[in-house]
Amino acid sequence: MSALQTLLRGSIDYAGLFPPAGLGMAAAVANYASYRDADHAWALGRFVAPASRVAEFESAAGGLLPPSASPSPWRVAVLLGADPTADLHSLGEFTCRHAADGEGAVSADVVEGKADSVEAVERLLGQVPPYLQAYVEVPIGRDPAPLVAAIRRAAGRAKVRTGGITADAFPAAADLVRFIRACLSAEVPFKATAGLHHPLRADYRLTYEPDSACGTMFGFLNVFLTTAFMAAGLDDRQAGLLLEERDRDSIRFDDSGVEWKGRRLGLDAIRRSREAGIVSFGSCSFTEPIGDLESLGLL
């Protein structure tokens, strides 16, 4: 397995229901089924759906799910809404329906919510049953360390919003570095979401509309590599430079590791960064990240 595959295995949580793609459920589910059988299925993570649409997902996916005894069930990440208690109750019923055959053909084993205070973190995670892994999206415009610490105490994971469909939805690089440092220091794994369609930082269209405005986006390679190098000792100033790196030639992968401007990480360090650092990123497209990696000659 190459270093790139080690860095990105199972990393792309498919969020085709969400902007800017905004697909219908049937189309998004069909896409996910096709990606599971594609050449680069190794990079595919969970299907992302709002709790309010789990029943719709269940109906649309019914004929596409693998056999109940499949060693590779569909895995779903469910976004909790304004009433987490009701959402978790409905999700529990979904889980019961699909638990009769062991793990079953589909597993909604991850939930994601939002909280902007320590009390809100504790309240949210206090409702999540132990058989679910919970991610909590926190604001990063101010120091997120207290929120991350609260997430750790409740055995949760953190989530950061790295963009959106407007230029002001993208956080400052320094704020993102501070968030990553807080998670690494507290030993809290995290995921990122939004605005990470492309591997490297650059200016891109913010939506798929032909007259879309452009904005500077973070690259998912930048975010994953920044996390990995920070976990291995990179300081915050250098981390900011890596997070904003635009030169493809400055990043070199081979079968035994990755190099950036004279600094090198081996496969073990990359694996550790995925286990204890960044877990995945949400993207409304799977083909775009993969296509860009191919265009850059990385796949």
Taking the alpha carbons of 47, 49, 55, 61 in that order, is the dihedral positive or negative?
A: negative
Closest CA to 51 of 85, 26, 12: 85
What distance in Å separates the CA atoms of residue 233 and residue 241, rounded to the nearest whole number? 14
Give the torsion through C-alpha atoms of 92, 96, 101, 104, to 10 deg: -30
Q: What is the pLDDT of residues 47-96, one digit of tens each?
A: 999 999 999 999 999 889 887 666 788 999 999 999 999 999 999 888 88
**Pick from 53, 52, 110: which is nearest to 81 by CA?**
52
pTM for the model: 0.95
The phi, psi pair for 202, rounded to 5°, reads -175, 180
pLDDT of residue 103: 54
Q: What is the pLDDT of residue 70?
A: 67
pLDDT at 155: 97
pLDDT of residue 95: 82
DSSP reduced 3-state for 145: helix
Domains plus CATH for the chain?
A: 3-295 (3.20.20.70)
**Distance, CA of 127 to CA of 159 (rounded, Å):** 18
Encode pLDDT of 217-228 as tens digits: 999 999 999 999
In the predicted model, is pLDDT for residue 14 greater than 70? Answer: yes
Which residue in 22, 50, 75, 16 sits closest to 288, CA to CA? 16
Which of helix, strand or coil describes residue 100?
coil
Q: Is the pLDDT of residue 278 over 80?
A: yes
Per residue in 111-162, pLDDT tens?
A: 999 999 999 999 999 999 999 999 999 999 999 999 999 999 999 999 999 9
Average pLDDT of the chain is 94
Higher model confidence: residue 69 or residue 3? 3
Query: Rounded mean pLDDT of 226-249?
Result: 97
